[in-house]
A = this chain, B = another copy of it.
Amino acid sequence: MNIGEVAEITGLPAKTIRYYEDIGLVTPARGDNGYRRFRPADAHKLTFLARARALGFPIEECRDLLALWEDQGRASADVRRIAAHHLAGIERRIADLSAIRDTVHDLVEACRGDARPDCPILTGLAQGQQKAP
């Protein structure tokens, strides 16, 4: 398989696949013309990576997950630890974003949004108005 076909199968842009080779996540063979030749195992790896990335795992955790996936002697505890750590980070980000959303929502609600210049959003930003808890 050439890179275009793998890109279609995995849904990853060819640029991204080249980048993943650059950083050592995959190591496709090369043909006589210099083209990358991807074997099914490479495509499976890339599909795994695409899914892990879509769930927001950072690259280095993807690398670790990939290594565990290929290690038949792994302990599932190691996998779980990585995923649980990621989950905690996601929940923190959601909490942070939710607090921000509430504040911005209140500001937007308070603003009439007409042609006049007085604006609670600007005064809120200037005065540091925060969502009451």
* A132, CB-defined interface residue at 8 Å: no
**Interface bits A79-108 vs B (CB < 8 Å: 1, else 0):** 111011011001101100110110111011
Query: Min CB distance, A52 to chain B, in Å?
Result: 5
| A69 proximity list for chain B (CB < 8 A) | 122, 125-126
Interface contact A101-B97, CB-CB below 8 Å: no
Q: Is A23 an interface residue (CB 8 A)?
A: no
A contact patch SS: helix
Interface bracket on A: 35 or more
Q: How far is the CB of A112 from chain B (nearest CB, A)?
A: 6
Q: Which residues of A contact B (CB under 8 A)?
A: 44, 47-48, 51-52, 54-56, 65, 68-69, 71-77, 79-81, 83-84, 86-87, 90-91, 93-94, 97-98, 100-101, 103-105, 107-108, 111-119, 121-122, 125-126, 128
